[in-house]
Structure 1
Amino acid sequence: MYSRALLVYNQNAGQQETLQQLAAVIPVLAKNVKELVLYQTFKPGEGEALCRDQGGTYDLILIMGGDGSVHECVNGIATLDHPPLVGILPVGTCNDFARSMNLPVELALAADELMKGHVRELDIGMAQGRVFTNFFGVGLITDTSENINPDLKGKLGKLSYFISMLQTVRAAEPFSYSLEYDGHTSEGEAVMIYISNGRYLGTRPLPFTLDSLCDGLLDVLIIREAGLPLLKELLSRKVEGEWKPANESIEYVKAASVKLTTAKPMKADTDGEVYMEAPADVSVRPRGLRFLVGGE
C-alpha cells in the first residue's frame, strides 16, 4: 500500500479517450494507494515543473503517457534530492521505455503489473544537463521523428513510425563525426549515431543484454550507411549475451561517457523529443532512479 501517489496525465488523446484511460487504471490503483492525486497537464513543461516542485511530497509518481511524457516528468523527478518511486502507465505511440522494463502496453494490465511492486534501480542517461531514459541520437533517428505525419500517428500509431523510417532511409545522408568514449576514439562518416539506455526502438527489441538498463553503461550504435538490410540486422534480433553485428556498416560499443563531435551542429532526438543539438557530452547516471517494473 502506497501512502500518497501522484498520477500525471494530459489530454493529448482527447477528453473521451482520456476518461476511458483513467477509468481503466483508477480502480486498480485505488486498491493500493491510500491517497491518489490526479494532475492534468495542458502545456509542454508543465509535467516537469510539477514533478520538480511537488514530487518530493509523494512516495510514488505515476506517469500516464508516452515516451515524451516520461521524458518530461523524469527530468523533473531526477532533480530531487530524494526522488520518489516512478511508475509508467503507457498510452503513447511506441512506449519503448515501458517495453524495456517488461511492462504490458495494455493500460489496465500495466496498472495491475505496477501494483505488484517489482522495484528496480535503473540507469538514466545525461546529455547537456538533461536526463533521458531511452536514447539520445542524431542523424536518421532524428529525421525519422521529425518526418512522422501527425495525422498518421493518431490513426496508425506505431506503424507511423515505421512508415517514417522507411521514407527517411531512402533520403539519409552521411555526416562527419568524432566519438570519444572511455579512452577510445571513433571517427568517420555515419548516417546515425544512437546512444541508448533502453532496449527498444520503435516498439522493436534491440540486441542488447537484459541487464543493459542497470549496468552503468550506454549502448552506442554507429550506423555508417542506410539500407533495409541494416534495419533488419538491427531490429530483428533478440540475443542473450554480447552482440557482435554481422553487418560491417554497424559499429557497436558500450561506454560510461561519450563525447560526440559533429562537423556542424545537428538536431538531436532525445526519447523522441527533438530540442537538443550535437556536439554533445553524453553520460550515464548509474541506477539513478527507482522504477516499478514488470515481473520476469
Structure 2
Amino acid sequence: MGILPTSDKFPLLVVLNPHSGRKQSLETWENTVKPALNNAKKPFRLIESNTQGYVISYFVDNIKPIITDLAQSLSIVTTSGAADGETIVYPTSAKLQIIVLGGDGTVHEIVNGILKGVEGTGFVTDVFRPEVELSVIPTGTGNAISTSLGVTSVQDAVDRFIAGKTVPLRLMSVTSQNSQLYTVVVNSYGLHCATVYDSEEFRHLGNDRFRQAAMKNVENLKQYEGKLSFFGPAQRYNRTSTSLVETVPAVSNIAQADNKNTAAATLTLPGPFTYLLISKQASLEPGFTPTPFAKTSDDWMDVLAVQNVGQAEIMQMFGSTATGTHVNLEHVEYIKAKVIELETPTQGRLCIDGEFLTIEAGPEGKIRFEVTSDPNIQIFHIFA
C-alpha cells in the first residue's frame, strides 16, 4: 500500500507552545487556526506545552502508541485470500500530520522526541515507515523555517496546510562522544552562539532581543579557537565567478569516506572563528539571511565562517545579510558540505537550534555534523 493521509479516525496533532515568541500562540490558535480546521472538518488533538522540555518528553513517551493508533486507523478488513474469513491488512506507510504553534525550538523538540521515542524499536523500518508532516505556524521569535520557505503570515501558513503540498525537512545529525541530536535550523559557534545565549535576558523585546544581544557581543568581540574540517564532497563560494565551485575530495578521502577517523579532509578552516554557523535554512529571521543558498529539502549543510576579524568587518557582514551579498566580502567563507567536524583546543559552547551543547577540549570532544541518508531518520516533511 502507498502513502495514505491521516485517517478520519485519527486526528491530526496540534502542538501549542504558549510561551514562544511574544506569547501569541494561544490567541492565534483560537482566532485563526482552530476556526480554519473546524471549517475544513479536520479533527485534531491539542497538545499544550506547559513547561520547557514538555514537548520532547511527550513525544518520547507517546510516539509509539500514536504510530500504533495511526496504523490501526488505516488498516483494511478484507476477506480476500483469508482461509478463516476476515483478515486485517495494515499499511506499509502513513502520514502523521502535526501543526506547530511555536518557534523553531518547538520543531526541534518534536523531531528529537519522535526519533528518541522510536529509537531501537520496530516502529520505523522498511516494513512500516510513517512520514511526519509538519505545518509550522509562525508564532516564535525568529521563525527561521517559515521565513526560509517564504511563509508571510499565520494565514499563509494555514492556507499552505490546507493546500497540502509538502517538501522534505532534512535533518542534521550532531554527534559527540556522548550524545547524538538532530537539528533542523542552525548549529553555531562563536559570536552567533554567544548572541543566542545572551538573548535570553532580552526575551521581552521579541525579535529585537537578538539584535540587542549581538551588539553586546560585538562591543566585547572575542575570537573562538577551533578547527573546522570538511569530508567528502564540498562546494565553496568563489567571489570571482560569484558561484559555488565543487571541491573534489582526494582519492584517499573517497576510499576512506566511511572511516571518519582516517579519512583525509577535503577542506580545513584553521580558525580562530569570530562567527561560525552551519545551517539548513536560508534565513534565521526576516531581514537576516546568513546562508542564502541553503535549502530545507536538500542534502547539504551551508556553512558561513568568518575567521579572526574585528568589529568593522563583522558590522560590514551584518549590514549585507539582508540581501545575501555578504558572501562576496573578502573575509567571509561560504561552503556547502555533507560531513563536517569541529574541534576546539579548550572547552567551548555550541548552539543547536537555540539549545546549548558543551564542546569538550581536544580530539575527544570533536563534534560531527552530517546530513544522514538513513530513510528511517529522514521521515519529516513540511508544508510549503
Q: TM-score range by the shorter chain?
A: 0.7 to 0.9
- Aligned twin of 1:290: 380
Q: 1-side partners of 2:214 and 2:203: how far apart?
A: 13
From 183, 208, 216, the counterpart of 2:299: 216
Shift of 1:11: 2.6
- Aligned twin of 1:101: 149
Q: 1-side partners of 2:183 and 2:214: how far apart?
A: 21
Shift of 1:50: 2.2
- Aligned twin of 1:232: 319
Name stretches of at least 5 consecutive residues in structure 2 with no aligned partner. 71-95, 119-123, 125-129, 232-264, 361-365
Map residues 177-216 of structure 1 onto 2, 5 A cutoff: 177-182=226-231, 183-184=265-266, 185-203=268-286, 204-209=288-293, 212-216=295-299
Do residues 27 (structure 1) and 35 (structure 2) align? yes
Do residues 249 (structure 1) and 300 (structure 2) align? no
Q: 2-side partners of 1:195 and 1:248: how far apart?
A: 19
Q: 1-side partners of 2:183 and 2:20: how far apart?
A: 23
Shift of 1:207: 4.5
Do residues 50 (structure 1) and 58 (structure 2) align? yes
Question: What TM-score comes out, normalization by structure 2 length?
Answer: 0.68
Q: 2-side partners of 1:19 and 1:135: how far apart?
A: 26
2:18/2:26 contact within 8 Å kept: no
Relative contact order (C-alpha < 8 Å, sep 6+): which is higher? 1
Q: 2-side partners of 1:116 and 1:69: how far apart?
A: 23
Name stretches of at least 5 consecutive residues in structure 1 with no aligned partner. none
Shift of 1:119: 0.9
Map residues 1-296 of structure 1 onto 2, 5 A cutoff: 2-3=6-7, 4-12=11-19, 17-23=24-30, 24-32=32-40, 34-52=42-60, 53-54=62-63, 55-56=66-67, 57=69, 59-79=96-116, 80=118, 81=124, 82-104=130-152, 106-128=153-175, 129-150=180-201, 152-154=202-204, 156-182=205-231, 183-184=265-266, 185-203=268-286, 204-209=288-293, 212-224=295-307, 225-226=309-310, 227-233=314-320, 235-238=321-324, 245-277=327-359, 279-286=366-373, 288-294=378-384
Q: 2-side partners of 1:83 and 1:34: how far apart?
A: 18
CA RMSD of aligned residues (A): 2.5
Percent identical residues = 21
Q: Of the two, which has the highest radius of gyration?
A: 2
Deviations 1:113-165 (A, max 9, x none): 22211111131111021011111111111110121154x422x3112211211
Q: 2-side partners of 1:179 and 1:18: how far apart?
A: 38
Q: 2-side partners of 1:230 and 1:251: how far apart?
A: 11
Q: 2-side partners of 1:228 and 1:141: how far apart?
A: 13
1:119/1:290 contact within 8 Å kept: no
2:20/2:102 contact within 8 Å kept: no
Shift of 1:89: 1.3
1:136/1:196 contact within 8 Å kept: yes
- How many aligned residue pairs are there? 284
Which is richer in strand?
1
Shift of 1:13: 5.8
Deviations 1:44-100 (A, max 9, x none): 222113234235345211111011111111112345423421221121111111211
Shift of 1:247: 2.0
Q: 2-side partners of 1:199 and 1:163: how far apart?
A: 22
Shift of 1:18: 4.5
Aligned AA for 1:217?
Answer: W
Aligned AA for 2:139?
Answer: V
